[in-house]
């Protein structure tokens, strides 16, 4: 690894840990280098939380050059803010705290790099992370959540086995059709605002689309 | 095996978008640049590359007899009258579709590779056996499409199949571009198309009545009408294929007749 860059691990067991900002500040204090790689492990970070991290780093004259994480949500959030990110595929042998293990069996993330083209079909028994566009005529489906680091222009089905808590996020959501669990919605007519990651989920029996930040 | 041959598949998914016209014009252009070029008609069901090149009446043997070892390759190849660097290997009869296998296409192309700098394969429409056989024998591909939603959708499907078969590079030709319709947003824009297909754009070809005239005469545009709008596009595509850095035309500039004439004037050498 480049000796100028330092990898910082945000060590928080779950998103409710209240002191993570203090923890991060303490870590930054002891650092000499000002180019940072943030390793967020398997923690889901929203755009808002990532913005906060960036702000804290700025206070300590540090520059973040990359976010690493095994959470697709964190990857999509940091990417949508224009930061380089690296998806880490978790190996189950390491870090064997019991809680961690449980999480792993729950999310069997499938990972696809590149455009999904017309006529192609991707399926995942857990979450599905796609780095690339899902083109018109293509279909992607996951029993868990779907994260698209690109544009969704085809058909996506999250919670394909009935999980109505599943979500679909993308840098641009202009699908032909969206499905979450048993609900089906046609894509929005108007083109979405560019530069904002969006998310679709079920809210009171209806599929709604909103900017990713608010969740 | 002496020469480093480039084998290029010209395909589209959707029918009638301009594959055969591109194959014929690219063949002529490359031959004129001095490259020995073979064009192979892989559209056994609806062959018409021979017609476009005006060679129909000179066909004696076809790829079929070559494969069945009833004749040698050079007996089946039809040399073009004016461009002696260009040869056509005609398609056999449609019943070939029943027995032809990917390995047969490979055999034919391997034979052509020994003699030619370029082998251009005119692919049938669709993504079935005809396409799969042709794809088996190629290294690189040009995908032809029109600025229409259905043509782009089919091109996308074909690109996916080319990618999974590790064909590369795959480049894009956007045919039948009408600058006025594009400006009025009645047609997909160049960005709309390249955004979806995410391929390097090898060239645009303008909509041009002369294409139809030349088709009926059996003389590709690039042979005699080099000043027609589409012919220039085809010539530029041939040059870019060589790696020459030639800027793409801007459809917006092609709209006003005056602009176009003015530029032509500027390009003419006065001294
Ligand atoms: N740039 C152009 N301007 C005007 N007409 C064109 C242009 N390109 C192609 N055409 C016309 O479109 C028709 C179809 O072209 P062509 O036969 O090359 O398509 P193709 O893709 O080979 O078709 P197929 O799938 O049936 O083999 C022809 O009549 C041709 O003259
Ligand atoms: Mg044809």
The alpha carbon of B202 and the centre of ligand 2 are apart by a number of angstroms equal to 19
Q: How far is A180 from chain B (nearest CA, A)?
A: 25
- Give the three-class secondary structure for B236: helix
Distance from CA of A71 to the nearest CA of B (A): 27
Parent domain of B187: 6-267
Whether B15 is in the pocket of ligand 1, judged by its Cβ within 6 Å, is yes
- What value does the mean pLDDT take over residues B184-205? 95
Whichever domain contains B94, its CATH number is 3.40.50.300
Residue B199, helix vs strand vs coil: coil
pLDDT tens, per residue, chain A with 215 residues: 444 566 666 655 555 566 777 777 887 787 766 788 888 877 888 878 888 888 888 888 888 888 888 887 788 778 777 787 777 766 544 444 444 444 444 457 788 988 999 999 999 999 999 989 999 999 999 999 999 989 999 999 999 999 999 999 998 898 989 999 999 998 777 776 666 788 999 999 999 988 876 44
Residue ranges per domain, chain A?
Answer: 6-90, 100-211
Q: Taking all residues of chain B, what is their mean pLDDT, rounded to a whole number?
A: 91
Whether B1 maps to a domain, the answer reads no
Decide: A181 and A164 in contact? Cβ < 8 Å: yes
The protein residue whose alpha carbon is closest to atom 9 in ligand 1 is B18
A155 contact residues in B (CB cutoff 8 A): none
Among B14, B39, B127, B211, residue to substitute to test ligand 1 (most atoms within 8 Å of Cβ): B211
DSSP string over A152-198? E-SEEEESTTS-TT--EEEEEE--SEEEETTEEEEPPSSPPPTT--E
Interface probe for A, chosen from B160, B166, B195, B199 (most Cβ of A below 10 Å), is B160
Q: What is the ipTM of this complex?
A: 0.75
- Tell me, yes or no, whether B181 lies in a domain: yes
A66-84 in b/e form (b: 16+ CB < 10 A) is bbbbbbbbbbbbbbbbebe
Least Cα separation, residue A33 to chain B (angstroms): 38
Please give the number of the atom of ligand 1 that sits closest to the Cα of B24: 18
Atom number in ligand 1 closest to CA B233: 1
Pocket test for ligand 1, best of B9, B16, B40, B144 (most atoms within 8 A of CB): B16
pLDDT at residue A46, as a whole number: 80
> Which chain A residues have a beta carbon less than 8 Å from that of B163?
114, 117
Per the structure block, which two tokens stand in for B125? 């429409």
CATH class of A6-90: alpha beta
CB contact under 8 A, A117 and B157: yes
B178 lines ligand 1 (CB under 6 A): no
Number of Cβ atoms within 10 Å of the Cβ of B228:
19
Residue B134, token pair as written in the block:
């042709």
Q: How many CB pairs under 8 A join A and B?
A: 28
Q: Could A115 and B198 be called an inter-chain contact, meaning their C-beta atoms sit closer than 8 Å? A: yes
In a domain, residue B244? The reply is yes
Cα→Cα distances B158→A140, A201, B73, B154, Å:
18, 33, 30, 6
Q: Nearest 5°: phi and psi at A85?
A: -140, 155
- The domain tally of chain B equals 1
Looking at the structure, give the CATH architecture of the domain made up of residues A100-211.
3 Solenoid (2.160)
Residue B134 has a pLDDT of: 95
């Amino acid at each position: 690894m480049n000796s100028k860059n330092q990898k910082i691990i945000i060590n928080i067991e779950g998103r409710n840990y209240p002191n993570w900002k203090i923890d991060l500040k303490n870590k930054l204090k002891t650092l000499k280098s000002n180019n940072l790689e943030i390793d967020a492990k398997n923690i889901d970070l929203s755009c808002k939380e990532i913005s906060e991290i960036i702000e804290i780093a700025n206070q300590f004259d540090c520059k973040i050059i990359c976010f690493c994480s095994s959470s697709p949500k964190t990857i999509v959030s940091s990417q949508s803010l224009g930061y380089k990110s690296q998806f880490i595929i978790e190996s189950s042998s390491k870090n064997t705290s019991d809680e961690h293990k449980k999480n792993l069996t729950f999310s069997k993330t499938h990972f696809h790099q590149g455009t999904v083209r017309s006529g192609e079909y991707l399926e995942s028994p857990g979450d599905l992370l796609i780095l690339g566009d899902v083109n018109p005529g293509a279909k992607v489906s996951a029993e868990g959540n779907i994260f698209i680091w690109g544009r969704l222009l085809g058909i996506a089905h999250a919670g394909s086995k009935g999980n109505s808590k599943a979500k679909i996020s993308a840098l641009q959501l202009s699908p032909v059709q969206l499905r979450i669990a048993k609900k089906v919605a046609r894509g929005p007519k108007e083109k979405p605002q560019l530069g904002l990651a969006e998310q679709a989920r079920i809210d009171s029996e209806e599929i709604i689309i909103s900017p990713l930040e608010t969740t | 095996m002496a020469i480093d041959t480039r084998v290029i598949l010209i395909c589209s998914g959707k029918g009638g978008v301009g594959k055969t016209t591109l194959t014929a014009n690219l063949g002529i252009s490359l031959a004129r640049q001095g490259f020995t070029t073979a064009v192979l008609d892989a559209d056994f069901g609806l062959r018409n590359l021979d017609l476009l090149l005006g060679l129909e009446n000179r066909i004696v043997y076809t790829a079929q007899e070559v494969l069945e070892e009833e004749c040698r390759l050079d007996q089946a190849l039809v040399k073009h009258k004016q461009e002696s660097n260009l040869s056509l290997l005609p398609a056999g009869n449609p019943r070939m579709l029943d027995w032809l296998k990917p390995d047969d296409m490979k055999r034919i192309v391997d034979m052509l590779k020994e003699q030619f700098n370029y082998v251009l394969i005119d692919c049938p429409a669709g993504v079935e056996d005809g396409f799969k056989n042709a794809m088996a024998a190629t290294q690189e591909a040009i995908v032809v499409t029109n600025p229409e939603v259905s043509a782009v959708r089919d091109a996308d499907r074909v690109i996916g199949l080319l990618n999974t078969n590790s064909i590369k590079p795959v480049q894009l030709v956007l045919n039948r571009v009408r600058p006025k319709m594009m400006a009025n947003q009645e047609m997909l824009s160049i960005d709309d198309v390249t955004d979806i297909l995410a391929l390097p754009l090898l060239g645009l070809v303008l909509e041009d009545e002369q294409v139809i005239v030349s088709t009926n005469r059996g003389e590709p545009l690039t042979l005699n009408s080099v000043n027609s709008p589409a012919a220039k596009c085809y010539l530029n595509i041939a040059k870019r294929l060589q790696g020459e850095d030639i800027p793409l035309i801007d459809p917006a500039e092609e709209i006003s007749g005056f602009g176009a004439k003015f530029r032509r004037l500027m390009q003419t050498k006065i001294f």
